[in-house]
Amino acid sequence: MSETQLENGARLIDFAGPPATARRVAWADNFSVEWIAAGASAEVESRDESLALFLQAPGAVSGVYGRVPIPPRSVAILPPGRHDLRADAGGVAAVIATSRPDLPGADRPRDPRVAPLRPAFRRRRPLAAPEVHALEAIVHPADNPRLRFLQTATISVNLVAYDGPRGRRGLSPHSHAAFEQGTLAVEGDYVHHLRTPWGPDAEAWRDDQHLEAAAGTLLVIPPDLVHTTEGVREGRHVLVDIFAPPRRDFIAKGWMFNVQDYEDEAAGS
């Protein structure tokens, strides 16, 4: 596992490579991603709900609720607590969480531009066991079949899946003012296009970057950095965009598939 710190503030983490026995965990300010290699297992503890991704091959999650098999191309919402995860030999798994007291690294220096994670959503009926969602069963927005949106109490993800290269006339460069984004590449090859906005201080200007990334990488994008990701070459592309807390703008547009399972504490609902 390696990490590259870019001059524009982004970080690219490559989960591949030695040592094979080490925990492969990447931290952003408000969330972490643990990469579980094919055929491997991991013990996970979280004080909040977490997400387990099995987007290539089946796997299983075990806990006080027993053993729950997870079909391929599925996402499991895990209740707070301890879980044992296993990725089958045919594919990897990943765990996205906002609280991992079982792992070091949460006390890394913060970016002051990133708003701290505060309680915002509460599940209406707490989970007693993992809740499994097949990727194809998550309804996509009517005008964009590439995207599917899912949330927990503290996280939301955009599950992006398509075949072949992404059309270069339909990219979506944008930036975020007060939160970071993680872009996890699960399948396919990509180029992350990154642009630092110009300000009055010309010494702070940076050249655009066009960063090649393969499956098994996580790009952590800081606030204000303009970004868009292009899938290149033929084959299946699967990306997961990660945000903590959940994106209220996506909820307001009616895109969040399971929003009915949560109360918005900030709105007093």
pLDDT, tens only, 168-210? 888 999 999 999 999 999 999 999 999 999 999 999 899 999 9
pLDDT of residue 269: 44
* Helix, strand, or coil (residue 249): helix
In the chain, what is the straight-line distance between the N-terminal and C-terminal CA atoms, in Å? 43
260/254 Cα distance (integer angstroms): 11
119 in any annotated domain:
no
pLDDT of residue 107: 75
165 in any annotated domain:
yes
Tokens of 200: 């009055």
pTM above 0.85, yes or no: yes
Residue type (1 letter), 193: H
pLDDT of residue 265: 84
123 in any annotated domain:
no
79 in any annotated domain:
yes
Number of domains in the chain: 1
* Helix, strand, or coil (residue 189): strand
116 in any annotated domain:
no
Q: How confident is the model at residue 10 (pLDDT cuts 50, 70, 90)?
A: very high
Give the count of beta carbons closer than 10 Å to the beta carbon of residue 89: 9
pLDDT at residue 41 tops 60: yes
**Kindly report the CA angle at 238 between 233 and 244, in degrees rounded to 5?**
135
131/151 Cα distance (integer angstroms): 12
97/56 Cα distance (integer angstroms): 20
Question: 105 vs 2, which has greater pLDDT?
Answer: 2
Q: Please list the residues that pair with 241 across neighbouring strands.
A: 158, 183
- If you ran DSSP here, which 8-state letter would residue 106 be given? T
H-only helix segments in the chain = 248-252
CATH code of residue 45 = 2.60.120.10
108 in any annotated domain:
no
Instruction: Tell me how far the alpha carbon of residue 33 is from its chain's centroid.
Output: 7
**Structural domain range at position 173:** 2-102+131-259
CA-closest candidate to residue 50, choices 135, 127, 109: 127
Q: Edge to edge, what strands does the sheet with 131-134 contain? A: 24-27, 32-36, 93-97, 50-54, 74-78, 131-134
Q: How confident is the model at residue 20 (pLDDT cuts 50, 70, 90)?
A: low
* Contact in structure between 231 and 189 (CB atoms under 8 Å): yes
107 in any annotated domain:
no
* Contact in structure between 55 and 66 (CB atoms under 8 Å): no
35 in any annotated domain:
yes
pLDDT, tens only, 90-127? 889 999 999 999 988 767 788 999 999 988 899 999 99
CA-closest candidate to residue 76, choices 102, 57, 95: 95
Question: 269 vs 113, which has greater pLDDT?
Answer: 113
What average pLDDT does this structure show over 213-227?
A: 97
**Kindly report the CA angle at 99 between 93 and 105, in degrees rounded to 5?**
85
